[in-house]
Each structure stands twice: as structure tokens, then as C-alpha cells.
Structure 1
Amino acid sequence: MPLLCHNGRFADTLDPVLAGDNPSFKWGEGLFETMRMAAGEIPLMHLHWARLQQGLTRLGMNDAALQRSVLENILRELALRNECAAAGRLRLHLYREGAGLGFVAEAAPLAAADHGWNERGWSIEVFADARIAPDAYSSLKRANYLPYLLAARRAADTGVDECFLLNAQGNVCDAARGNVFVVRGGIVQTPPLSEGAIDGVLRRHLMSLLAAAGRPVQELGLTMEDLLEAEELFITNAVKGIRWVARFRQRTYAHAVCKELYGLLGQPFNNALVAP
């Protein structure tokens, strides 16, 4: 039975760990991070930690209640116990507990599909039933993640790989499991956080890499027409890396720039799955 870690105590994943009055369970108050583990390390941990600290401050939660080194050691130990330290997917959920913080950490083997380049490309559609309202909290990875969950389920139910989410103005702001990028006229573009996009860790990292290379990403609102006119579409996610989109509605896309950026990311985001 895989283990989780609740406030430093390791337990079976099926063991009850949260009280009925837990504010994250009752009202969705809390934050979470999904991270990749590779060879016992967490790539981009400094960005994950910075995002957590910013989110805790914005929600008025005690950002001094947890130490980064303690959490990293717990995540490594959990991955070792669950036999996924070589290549794993980590999830850390933080919630208010009195004057401090509580947490639940999970670790599982990285799915085979999340290794390497997605050769066939993703197919994608739009989930329009729920709209993202841009505000001071919309860029956080909050415990109340319902629109994204419903969009992911719609994708699974309709046989596509992913779904776009729209904001209140009808612009594309995110995908169910990552940030949206397009390439138009050879220029990489992405919705700004003010459009309702999640402040993604790999989004930050890729934008920093491109800025350092003298190819800054343009942040601007993207309409459905913009996506249909783009040469390339891709999604970024700190676990899956870059995933290029091959098909959206009746449109098909190239992936030359996306493949170049995939190489730019370096290990472990561009490693191929090696059979044991």
C-alpha cells in the first residue's frame, strides 16, 4: 500500500487523516503544489517554494510555519518509501491549522506518458461550462480547483488529451493541466496572469530562459481566433514538461519551435523513458 505523509507522520493512503472541520475540506481554503522528482531531487524547487510563500501570504496564512529543508526531506523520504525517487510525481497540500499550517504529501511513480517528447501531439478542445474570473487569487494553485478538475474530466470523457479554460471575457486563460502558449509569426505568446492564468512554475522558468536568450515571451490576451490562427500551440506543466498540441477543432499545428524549447529546458524535462 502506498504511503502519504500527514504533518510529518507516514500513513497508508487509505487511512483517514483530516478532521471533519478541516477548512480546506469544508471550504477549499488551502494551496497545493505538484512537482516532479528526478534522481531524488525536485527540479525547480526554488520556484515551487517561492510560489507557495507568495500564496500563503496572499491568503493570510502563516508562511513561517514550515521550513523548506524539512519539507524537502519529507518529500524525498516519502518518494523513497513509495519507490518513486528515480522518477516520481509529488503533491503537497497545505491548509490552515490553528495559527499554523497542516500538510498532506503524496508521491507516486511518474506515468510513462510523462517521460520524454509527446511524439503524436495532443488533441485539445474547449471547456466552456465554467469560466475563470481573474482576481487577486486566480493565479494561485488553490485547493478549490473545481473548474480545472471538471475540464480534465471533460477531456477524458470526450476522448481528447486536454481542454482549454476560458475567462469571463471569453479569452483562453489556461488548460486543465497547464499553461497555454502559442507561436505566431515565430513569436512565443501566453496569456498574462491578469487574464486568470495560473502562475505556473514551468511557465515562469520557460519565460526566464527565453528572456535570457533575447527572445522574450509576449504576454497578451488570446482569443479563440488567435489560437486557430497560430502556427503552434503547446501546454507547460512542472510534472509533464512541454506538451505540443497537434489538433484543435479542425486545425492542425506544427511543432518546430516547441521542439526547440523542449530541448532548451534540459534535464529532466526532455529525457526519454529508458526501459528497465
Structure 2
Amino acid sequence: MINFNGNIVAQNDNVLTQNRAFLYGDGVFETLKIINNKILFLEDHYFRLMASMRVVRMEIPMNFTMEYFEEQVLSLVQQKGISVSARARITVFRNDGGWYLPQTNEVSFLIHATVLDATLYALNTDSYEVDLYKDFYVTKQLLSSIKTTNKMINVTGSIFAHENGLQNCILLNDAKNVVEVLQGNLFMVTGKKLITPPVSEGCLNGVMRKQILALAKKVADIEVSEEIISPFDLQKADELFLTNVITGIQSISKYRKKEFTSNLAHLLVQKLNESIVEN
């Protein structure tokens, strides 16, 4: 028996009362984009998931190959009839048992998927205003670079953004340097230079971040660098944009009183779509 919202009810093997991802945040995940029955950047997602599991000392099942991972995701979106354009999330969590100290490092996984309206990426040029979120800070450590099921900073930051009429917030680390935004990595353009914080600053080792860095290095007259960014640097920038696998690139139009262009973002979205079509 359990108490659920003030009522004593039968437990009925309720997964939430036993799921360590729910109880302790003892889980890791990947969010994927599927276009025309193909998982974009599959290899990058797979190896990041495997690395995340190793970091938190989960046992990796022998059958958990990239091909198995691909088969499970595509089988779900095909059965749901959404394989033309979908997002899927695979969550891996340590199996039930123990309190903080688990009784096993064996894992289970859960995949769910929803339909997306568009297939290829498009740059949204609507007003997109951001500001700093300073209630909590990201720590400069390895755990910050992987996707775990503990995302309270992102949740409370999203509430702060909503309450203040913002489209997003910029997160800072414990050294008060810029890390990322609530839903992805952050890029800054100053003159002919594209800069993003290094992973060592605590930012997510983003799959789309990797794609954009590679594409930008092929753009003539653009210098690409991973450097520490201070909040003061943002107000001197010509362009700011965020990246994630679902959105692709989202230009930031305003940070405090500073407004930005979106020239490089437009070019990179074009090159990103070209690379997807070619592959």
C-alpha cells in the first residue's frame, strides 16, 4: 500500500515507488531527432550515452550495441506512425534496490517518442530575449557535461524565465562565467570569431554543439574557438545563438539592452540542413 495524494491505494508495482531515476535522480538520458526513419547523429548520441553510463558506474548490457539502440528507437516511432519527423528520449536508470547505495549496477531503459511538425531545421527569427539566471550555479565537474535525470537548475530556471517574460536564461558556473542556456549550448559571435565555452567550464558536451563547431570551421573568414565567456562579454557580442538537437539553432535577439544580428546563424542552419540531406 502507498499514500498517493492523500489516499491509501494499492501499490500495484507502481514503477515510481521503485524507480531510482525518480527516487534519486539515478539515471542518464539522450534526446534524439528522427527524420525520415533515420536517427540524426546516431553515433554521437550512442557514444555519449555509453560514456554517461560509465561515468555514473552503470553496467552496460552486452546487447546494448548501437544497432540495438537504433532498432529499439525506430521500432517505436514506426509503430506510432511518426517516423517521418519525431523526437525520442531514451532514459537509462539503475535497477531497483538499496537507498543511496544501490544493490546492483544493472540497468533498465525506457524510450518514449512524440511527433515533430517539421523535418529539416529552420531558423526562428521571432523575438527571443534572454537574461542571466543567478539563483543557482552549474558546477565545473564531469557530471555537468552529461545528461542526468537531475535537472533542477534547468527546471527552476525555466520557471524564472516564464515569470519574467523571457524565452530562455543563461546559466553561470561557480566561477560566475557563462556556461550554457537552459535547453542547450551557447555560441557568441564577435567580429569574425565564433566562441563557445569549453566543456571544462561545466557545459553539456552537446551533440549539436559538436556539429556546429565542425561546420563553422569550414566557413571562410570565421575563427572558431572554445574560450571562457564572462557575462560582460555578452554585451560586446554581435550575435548570440543556442543549439540543441531538436531545435538546431535558435538566434537570441536580445540580452538586457543589447540586440543582436543572426547572420552566421542563418548560414549555419543552411549548412546543417545540407549536411543532413547529403548523409
Same topology, TM > 0.5: yes
Change in 2 beyond 3 A, CA 1:183/1:71: same
8 Å Cα contact 2:171-2:180 kept in structure 1: yes
Partner of 1:260: 267
Shift in Å, 1:61: 1.0
For residue 189 of structure 1, what is the aligned residue in structure 2?
195
CA–CA separation in structure 1 for the residues paired with 2:212 and 2:81: 29
Q: d(CA) in 1 for partners of 2:223 and 2:259?
A: 25
Indicate yes or no: 2:184 matched with 1:211.
no
1:164 paired with 2:170, answer: yes
The amino acid of 1:58's aligned partner reads V
Structure 1 residues 108, 120: closer, same or farther in 2, change over 3 A? same
- Look up the SS of the partner of 1:88 in the other structure: strand
In the alignment, structure 1 residue 154 sits paired with structure 2 residue 154: no
Identity %: 25
What's the RMSD between the two structures over aligned residues?
2.3
Question: 5+ residue gaps in structure 1?
Answer: 1-14, 271-276
Q: TM-score, normalised by structure 2?
A: 0.85
Task: Give the equivalent residue in structure 1 for 2:7.
Answer: none
- Corresponding residue of 2:236: 229
Alpha-carbon deviation of 1:114? 9.1
Q: Which residue of 55, 59, 82 corresponds with 2:56? A: 59
User: 8 Å contact 1:116–1:269 — kept in the other structure?
Assistant: no
C-alpha deviation, 1:240, in angstroms: 0.7
Task: Name 2:41's counterpart in structure 1.
Answer: 44
1:236-255 paired onto structure 2 within 5 Å: 236-255=243-262
**Residue 268 to residue 92, structure 1, CA distance change in 2 (3 Å):** farther
* Structure 1 position 21, deviation (Å): 2.9
In structure 2, C-alpha distance between the alignment counterparts of 1:83 and 1:156, rounded to whole Å: 33
- The Cα offsets for residues 32-88 of structure 1, whole Å up to 9 and x where unpaired, read as 111111111111011000101111111111134422222212211211233321111
Q: CA deviation at 1:94?
A: 0.6
State the one-letter code of the partner of 2:115: P
- Confirm or deny: 8 A CA contact 2:35 2:119 kept in the other structure: no
Are 2:184 and 2:242, in contact at CA under 8 Å, matched by a contact in 1?
yes
Deviations 1:93-128 (A, max 9, x none): 111124422111110011569952202242112211
Name stretches of at least 5 consecutive residues in structure 2 with no aligned partner: 1-11, 96-103
Structure 1 residues 259 and 115, CA gap change in structure 2 (3 angstroms): closer
Alignment of 1:28 with 2:25, yes or no, is yes
Q: Against the structure 1 CA distance between its residues 253 and 69, is the aligned structure 2 distance closer, same or farther, given a 3 Å change threshold?
A: same
Distance 1:79 1:268 in 2: 23
CA contact (8 A) 2:43 2:66 kept: no
CA contact (8 A) 2:189 2:238 kept: yes
Structure 2 residue 25 is matched with structure 1 residue 18: no
**Residue among 89, 102, 108 paired with 1:102:** 108
Q: Secondary structure at the match of 1:119?
A: coil
Give the counterpart of 2:83 among 82, 85, 89.
85
More divergent stretch after superposition (38-47 vs 82-91): 82-91
Letter in 1 for 2:66: R
